């Protein structure tokens, strides 16, 4: 039908304000958006206005690809990946969109000709912090790779109104500030009210008979919440594919609103509204340590139910039947946070769509796969049965039924092994019944994977060993990766340009091609430019440190960096013990030779994690003493950068000389920061943990600083009876370091401040810092020596980058596609946008 709107706009050509790519058109579009979207005259506009106008200019250029991708997915017979995750740490969108659309240079030029600076505008964007750390950032890297590889895929999660808190440091302590990231509006989301779904909570179940007299179960909820989809485009790199990240916002169900409102119960209406909206209000700031709070379970069920209903609705519309769902949908569970999916899918199929149990179970098992991200026993999610029953009564019944049938099978395979049954059961029976989400996810999925080779081996031998005995074929490894588009091209443009000049630009899609850099390792001009780029990146970070911490750092010193969530198993305090040791060495021997170092830390602590917060305070306390002391001047500096985030990471990784990956062996499932450092030419000091092992394998042991106990040695020591105090007694330097901390040397106003930290190390030391201390200090001495040999260090740095190709998330995603999801790329051809035909 020819509408008036279509008639009026049918003369628009490709070079219009919304799709045109010439500098002139981009400038005009930018000015136009400033006027019509931001409602500002150019002379009155501020940087937020520029950022918004430029974002809309860029978004317009994404929309054609995005809508075309949706059209192709709608029309073709395809299989789609659904990545369910409670966290997506996407990072800033504008710079990434410009990179992936190949628009960066032209926009930079257009902005320049408008009298502005693009990098300054990019800094205005609030960093969407809808995740805690590695797990959420992995989800974002995976979406980038899926779109780049042209795989039909959709991310599903929660649109938190408040993301991870902003961290400020006051008197050395972490202070949490709410993250109002939506304050100025979000140009990257499109609200799809028409796809709103209803989510039930609470109430009870009842049996009823259908017309043929067959019994069914019905769930009568006590309240209903609406899920409103907010869609964000996810552009692939140099491809037409733009996938969708669909995040759900919780709102009050309409009937509830009106019932209370119409009867004059305004307080009641408001209370319902608040209760509903609370569900997507705030991200839980715990990493690797879940808290069994009711609201958290509500969040998990909310986004799972929204997403599965959405998937089923779309599938039914296209195919009219559900038996073939596994041929068209692969659903990946990002840890157990969405594991309630298994029960919800069964409920939807059996209760709402009338399928038989066995058929529903076949569909469920063949659709879902589960990724485990931790071995730490306290991080495995469990929910008390009473809470579960009050919030999700029907799901508890379904879980009991799944468990009953599963344990019956086990009994026929392994008769009379009560202990095996108790370990495998989805319900933990001792000490208050609990639902074990990892067991539910494992039973309900056809594939279970770990995130690095060692981690998967330990899963098979330890945490999930009983399941591995039942179903060895379910278990597989998928070593993590990171996207080189954000973490090299966007973060380190100078290095990227040098690399492309030498080996061409295709490495950004085929990261293994970085190997070609090895043939330039002896090229002295190349080596010199390599060093200059690192130096310039260090200078940028030094400027940031001066601006934010008022500390002057020497760019010729080793930038020795540990950035990640603060956790005892990650051992930021091992780094700190060594810093104190260096400080004391200088104090004892003021003329000692030492390679100058700048120690840089960044990372957030969970607000309720006392020891992690004390570690932050300790780092800052040591920094205060060290940075002020003229005796160590020119040799040591310590800096804690507040509010570490994806965007701060983009500044930090390219500036690092040394990457600290020093977790207790067997505790870090993979790590992904380790990969970002390596790709940017930092060398690693690390333990044989997580993906460190594979990084070392790739770059060569001579290009990696290894220290510490192995996972097996850690376990053996624990069973043999580990006594940390023995190390204290027998190691003089370590004793001095711990004594100074315990005595209050770094906390003059409060001498006992760090006693809990020292006591914990002397009496328990769950993460074996004292056992690893000397090996770490010795290894750091080797680092100091190695850095003095500039040429050798340059060679090692180049080889680290040249051999980092394995750690592209493209490689990881290809493995998921081939071995778990069985999905293929779908080509998206662009049709010129013509409103007359739209």
Catalytic sites, residue numbers? 373, 564-565, 570, 672, 676
Q: What is the DSSP letter of 236?
A: P
**Closest CA relative to residue 808, chosen from 103, 142, 127, 10:** 142
Other C-beta atoms within 10 Å of 121: how many? 24
Q: Which is nearer to ligand GPW, 54 or 463 (CB)?
A: 463
Binding mask of the shown chain, residues 374 to 393, with x at each position contacting ligand GPW by CB under 6 A: x----x--------------
Query: What's the rounded Cα separation, in Å, for the pair 199 and 192?
Result: 17
Q: Which is nearer to ligand GPW, 124 or 672 (CB)?
A: 672
Q: Which is nearer to ligand GPW, 373 or 696 (CB)?
A: 373
Q: Segment contacting ligand GPW (CB under 6 A): 29-37, 414-422, 662-670, 821-829?
A: 662-670
Select the residue interacting with ligand GPW from 57, 132, 341, 703 (CB under 6 A).
132
Q: Which is nearer to ligand GPW, 286 or 366 (CB)?
A: 286
Q: Is 720 helix (H, G, I), strand (E, B) or coil?
A: helix
Q: Which is nearer to ligand GPW, 517 or 675 (CB)?
A: 675
Query: What's the rounded Cα separation, in Å, for the pair 219 and 207?
Result: 9
What sign has the CA pseudo-torsion 666, 669, 673, 676? positive
Select the residue interacting with ligand GPW from 65, 246, 373, 538 (CB under 6 A).
373
Indicate the pairing of strand 434-436 with strand 382-384.
antiparallel
Tell which positions 401-420 bind ligand GPW, by CB under 6 A: none
Binding mask of the shown chain, residues 687 to 706, with x at each position contacting ligand GPW by CB under 6 A: ---x----------------
Min dist CB 373 to ligand GPW, Å, is 3
Q: Which residues contact 518 (CB under 8 A, 6 or more apart)?
A: 798, 799, 802, 803
Bridge-partner residues for 558, per DSSP?
597
Select the residue interacting with ligand GPW from 101, 135, 234, 464 (CB under 6 A).
135
Min dist CB 138 to ligand GPW, Å, is 4
Other C-beta atoms within 10 Å of 502: how many? 15
Q: Which is nearer to ligand GPW, 380 or 584 (CB)?
A: 380
**Closest CA relative to residue 153, chosen from 162, 161, 144:** 144
**Closest CA relative to residue 244, chosen from 320, 307, 322:** 307
Q: Segment contacting ligand GPW (CB under 6 A): 48-56, 126-134, 196-204, 519-527?
A: 126-134
Min dist CB 474 to ligand GPW, Å, is 19
Under the binding rule (CB under 6 A), the answer on residue 670 touching ligand GPW is yes
Bridge-partner residues for 154, per DSSP?
82, 244
Q: Which is nearer to ligand GPW, 672 or 760 (CB)?
A: 672
Binding mask of the shown chain, residues 741 to 780, with x at each position contacting ligand GPW by CB under 6 A: ----------------------------------------
Tell which positions 437-496 bind ligand GPW, by CB under 6 A: 451, 480
Annotate 95-147 with DSSP letters as a single string: HHHHHHTT-HHHHHHHHHHTT--HHHHHTTS----BS-SHHHHHHHHHHHHHH
Min dist CB 133 to ligand GPW, Å, is 4
Query: How many residues are present in the chain?
Result: 838
Select the residue interacting with ligand GPW from 669, 734, 761, 798 (CB under 6 A).
669
Under the binding rule (CB under 6 A), the answer on residue 684 touching ligand GPW is no
Q: Which is nearer to ligand GPW, 87 or 657 (CB)?
A: 87
Name the one residue in this structure whose structure tokens are 């039973």: 443
Q: Which residues contact 532 (CB under 8 A, 6 or more apart)?
A: none
Under the binding rule (CB under 6 A), the answer on residue 671 touching ligand GPW is yes
Select the residue interacting with ligand GPW from 91, 95, 134, 235 (CB under 6 A).
134
Select the residue interacting with ligand GPW from 29, 81, 107, 138 (CB under 6 A).
138
Q: Which is nearer to ligand GPW, 189 or 668 (CB)?
A: 668
DSSP H helical ranges for 653-789:
673-679, 692-699, 711-720, 724-730, 732-743, 755-763, 769-788
Report in angstroms the alpha-carbon separations of 465 from 282, 374, 455, 475, 499.
35, 14, 13, 10, 44
Query: Residue by residue, what is the 3-state secondary structure of 754-774?
Result: CHHHHHHHHHCCCCCHHHHHH
Q: Which is nearer to ligand GPW, 527 or 667 (CB)?
A: 667
Q: Which is nearer to ligand GPW, 160 or 201 (CB)?
A: 160
Select the residue interacting with ligand GPW from 91, 95, 129, 133 (CB under 6 A).
133
Min dist CB 323 to ligand GPW, Å, is 33
Min dist CB 140 to ligand GPW, Å, is 11
Query: What's the rounded Cα separation, in Å, for the pair 581 and 741?
Result: 11
Min dist CB 378 to ligand GPW, Å, is 9
- Yes or no: say if 181 and 163 are a contact pair by the CB < 8 Å rule: yes
> Dihedral, CA atoms, 256, 261, 265, 266, nearest 10 degrees?
110
**Closest CA relative to residue 493, chosen from 141, 120, 104:** 104
Q: How far is CA 244 from the centre of its chain?
A: 17
Min dist CB 602 to ligand GPW, Å, is 15
Binding mask of the shown chain, residues 275 to 304, with x at each position contacting ligand GPW by CB under 6 A: ------------xx----------------
- Yes or no: say if 122 and 92 are a contact pair by the CB < 8 Å rule: yes
Q: Segment contacting ligand GPW (CB under 6 A): 228-236, 391-399, 544-552, 665-673?
A: 665-673
Tell which positions 564-603 bind ligand GPW, by CB under 6 A: none
Provide the b/e sequence for 153-188 (b: ≥16 CB within 10 Å): bbbbbbbbbbbbbbbebeebebeeeebebeeeebbb
Binding mask of the shown chain, residues 236 to 275, with x at each position contacting ligand GPW by CB under 6 A: ----------------------------------------
Min dist CB 477 to ligand GPW, Å, is 12
- Yes or no: say if 319 and 328 are a contact pair by the CB < 8 Å rule: yes
How many residues belong to the site for ligand GPW (CB under 6 A)? 19
Min dist CB 441 to ligand GPW, Å, is 12
By CB under 6 A, name the binding residues for ligand GPW.
Answer: 132-135, 138, 287-288, 335, 373-374, 379, 451, 480, 668-672, 690
């Amino acid at each position: 039908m020819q509408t008036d709107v279509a008639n009026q706009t049918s003369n628009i050509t490709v070079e219009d304000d919304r799709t045109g790519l010439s500098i002139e058109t981009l400038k005009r579009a930018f000015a136009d958006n400033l006027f019509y979207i931001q409602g500002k005259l150019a002379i009155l506009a501020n940087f937020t206005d520029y950022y918004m106008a430029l974002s809309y200019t860029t978004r317009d250029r994404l929309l054609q690809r995005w809508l075309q991708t949706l059209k192709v997915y709608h029309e073709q017979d395809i299989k789609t990946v659904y990545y369910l995750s409670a966290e997506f740490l996407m990072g800033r969108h504008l710079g990434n969109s410009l990179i992936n659309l190949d628009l960066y240079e032209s926009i930079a030029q257009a902005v320049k000709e408008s009298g502005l600076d693009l990098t300054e505008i990019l800094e205005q964007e609030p960093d969407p912090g809808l995740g805690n750390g590695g797990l959420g950032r992995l989800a974002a890297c995976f979406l980038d790779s899926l779109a780049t590889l042209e795989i039909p895929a959709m991310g599903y999660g929660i649109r938190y109104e408040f993301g991870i808190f902003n961290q400020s440091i006051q008197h050395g302590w972490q202070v949490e500030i709410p993250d109002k990231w939506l304050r100025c509006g979000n140009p990257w989301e499109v609200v799809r009210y028409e796809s709103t779904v209803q989510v039930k909570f609470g109430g009870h179940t009842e049996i009823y008979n259908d017309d043929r007299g067959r019994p069914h179960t019905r769930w009568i909820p006590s309240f209903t919440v609406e899920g409103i989809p907010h869609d964000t485009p996810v552009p692939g790199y140099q491809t037409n594919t733009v996938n969708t990240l669909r995040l759900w916002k919780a709102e009050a169900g309409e009937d509830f609103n009106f019932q209370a409102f119409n009867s004059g119960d305004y307080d009641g209406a408001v209370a319902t509204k608040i209760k509903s909206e609370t569900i997507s209000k705030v991200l839980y700031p715990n990493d690797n340590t879940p808290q069994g709070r009711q609201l958290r379970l509500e969040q998990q069920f909310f986004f799972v139910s929204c997403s599965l209903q959405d998937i089923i609705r779309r599938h039914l519309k296209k195919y009219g039947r559900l038996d073939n769902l596994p041929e068209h949908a692969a659903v990946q569970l990002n840890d157990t946070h969405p594991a309630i999916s298994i029960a919800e899918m069964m409920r939807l199929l059996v209760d709402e769509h009338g399928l038989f149990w066995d058929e529903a179970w076949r569909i469920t098992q063949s659709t879902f796969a589960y990724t485990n991200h931790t071995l730490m026993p306290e991080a495995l999610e469990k929910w008390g049965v009473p809470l579960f029953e009050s919030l999700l009564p029907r799901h508890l019944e379904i879980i009991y039924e799944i468990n009953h049938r599963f344990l019956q099978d086990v009994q026929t395979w392994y008769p009379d092994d009560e202990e095996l049954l108790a370990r495998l059961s989805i319900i933990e029976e001792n000490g208050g019944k609990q639902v074990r989400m990892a067991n539910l996810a494992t039973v309900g999925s056809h594939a279970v994977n770990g995130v690095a080779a060692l981690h998967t081996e330990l899963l098979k031998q330890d945490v999930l060993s009983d399941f591995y005995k039942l179903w060895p074929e379910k278990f597989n490894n998928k070593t993590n990766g990171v996207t080189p588009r954000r973490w090299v091209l966007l973060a380190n443009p100078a290095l990227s340009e040098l690399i492309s000049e030498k080996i061409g630009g295709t490495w950004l899609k085929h990261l293994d091609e970085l190997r070609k850099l090895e043939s330039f390792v002896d090229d002295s001009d190349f080596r010199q430019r390599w060093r200059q780029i690192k130096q310039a990146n260090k200078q940028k970070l030094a400027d940031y440190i001066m601006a934010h911490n008022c500390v002057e750092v020497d760019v010729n010193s080793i930038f020795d960096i540990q950035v990640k969530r603060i956790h005892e198993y990650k051992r930021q305090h091992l780094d700190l013990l060594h810093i104190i040791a260096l400080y004391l060495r200088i104090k004892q021997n003021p003329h000692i030779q030492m390679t100058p170092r700048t120690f840089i830390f960044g990372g957030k602590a969970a607000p309720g994690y006392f020891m992690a917060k004390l570690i932050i305070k300790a780092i800052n306390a040591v920094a205060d003493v060290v940075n002020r002391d003229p005796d160590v001047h020119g040799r040591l500096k310590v800096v804690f950068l507040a509010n570490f985030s994806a965007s701060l990471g983009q500044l930090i990784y390219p500036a690092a000389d040394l990457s600290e990956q020093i977790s207790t062996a067997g505790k870090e499932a993979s790590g992904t920061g380790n990969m970002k450092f390596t790709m940017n030419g930092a060398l690693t000091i690390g333990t044989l943990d997580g993906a460190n092992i594979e990084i070392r394998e790739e770059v060569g042991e001579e290009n990696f600083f290894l220290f510490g106990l192995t996972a097996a040695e850690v376990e053996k020591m624990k069973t043999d009876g580990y006594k940390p105090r023995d190390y204290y007694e027998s190691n003089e330097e370590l004793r001095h370091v711990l004594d100074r901390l315990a005595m209050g040397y770094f906390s003059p106003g409060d001498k006992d401040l760090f006693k809990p930290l020292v006591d914990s190390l002397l009496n328990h030391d769950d993460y074996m810092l004292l056992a690893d201390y000397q090996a770490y200090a010795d290894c750091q001495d080797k680092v100091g020596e190695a850095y003095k040999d500039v040429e050798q260090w340059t060679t090692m740095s180049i080889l680290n980058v040249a051999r980092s190709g394995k750690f592209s998330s493209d490689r990881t995603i290809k493995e998921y596609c081939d071995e778990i999801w069985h999905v293929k790329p779908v080509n998206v051809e662009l049709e010129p946008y013509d409103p007359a035909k739209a």
